[in-house]
Amino acid sequence: MASSSSALSRLSNLHGHLHPSHSNKGGVGFIKISPEVSEALSNDHAVVALESTIISHGMPYPKNLETAREVEAVVRENGAVPATIAILDGIPCVGLSMEELEKLANLGPRAQKTARRDIAHVVATRGNGATTVSATMFFASMVGIPLFVTGGIGGVHRHGEHTMDISSDLTELGRTPVAVISAGVKSILDVPRTLEYLETQGVCVAAYRTNEFPSFFSETSGCKVPCRVDTPEDCAQLIDANLKLELGTGILIAVPIPKEHAASGRLIESAIKRALEEARDKNIIGNAATPFLLARVNELTGGASLASNIALVKNNALVGAKISVALAQVKERENKGGVKTTL
């Protein structure tokens, strides 16, 4: 009975997003969920949310489109449904068609980089927005997707104690119950202060098959984690417990970059230091800093950083899909039992 009621509630929720009673002309005011994602959610199948900033601002066309398709393919090959999230013509979309992916890839930086604070503006002006970690988490949680894969999250910027430049990704993790699978935080950031901030937000930080927090291009950061998970099943149990306890916070599961792509880490770190100095000299700050730094580091490393970036995103997608499948299996066992397990 509990299982049937839960299914009806989910279907009602999805119907509300697809056919809202308060929708305006042109679709502003509602979320569009792709048929594939809608069906998967209504049947408790594995779904993995994906951001869209990496498509618009992460790399040039057509490499961005090629990578987006490859990442979605990795998710599908490992048993889950990809749900790339973006705002197109003012409509938040969960799950993009190939045509919509191509539109976003062609728009590139002309699509607004959209964090939580920007959502209302992009929707109200019927603009095109590529969602960052915070906005993607928000929409994923709204439609009931418990897991999100990205490259690396934002954090406390170096010298953040003076500038107060702290990514909204961190506060989103503190208030939105979505598990984020990433390669740690971008190595252009202050890793120790980022972890301190996450602790203040009450966010569980776990590392996958390691005791040390990875830092994007490098497997190590010198920082230990309070929680280690070694299998997709371990991760699923952690996410399930977090949701059942209704802690209201997200989880950060940090997956080290594959060893074969970590070798260029020192070269990349040297380029990062130089790029940081250039950004400071040019007074490039705020949400313009990360795109500038990543592009400049790619130039300085002769493309090595972009290759590593793509490799780690695909690896995160593989791990995230397996975790999503394991989480779906947990729910399936509960539904077969007829009642939901409580802690």
Active site residues: 51, 186
Q: Which of 52, 127, 44, 115 is nearest to 89 (CA)?
A: 127
Q: Which of 26, 297, 311 is nearest to 187 (CA)?
A: 297
Q: What is the largest CA-CA distance in the chain?
A: 64
CA distances (Å), origin 154, targets 19, 106, 169, 234: 34, 24, 6, 25
CB-based contact 55:64 (threshold 8 Å):
yes
Distance between alpha carbon 119 and the CA centroid of its chain, in Å? 16
Cα separation, 336 vs 238, whole angstroms: 21
Q: C-alpha angle with apex 142: 141 to 144, nearest 5 degrees?
A: 60
Q: C-alpha angle with apex 139: 134 to 140, nearest 5 degrees?
A: 95
- Rounded (10°) CA dihedral 241, 242, 247, 250: 180
Helix 63-77 with 98-107: angle, nearest 10 deg: 140
DSSP per residue, 78-145: TT-EEEEEEEETTEEEES--HHHHHHHHHHGGGSEEE-GGGHHHHHHTT--EEE-HHHHHHHHHHHT-
CB-based contact 213:221 (threshold 8 Å):
yes
Q: Which of 272, 268, 321 is nearest to 293 (CA)?
A: 272
Cα separation, 179 vs 289, whole angstroms: 26
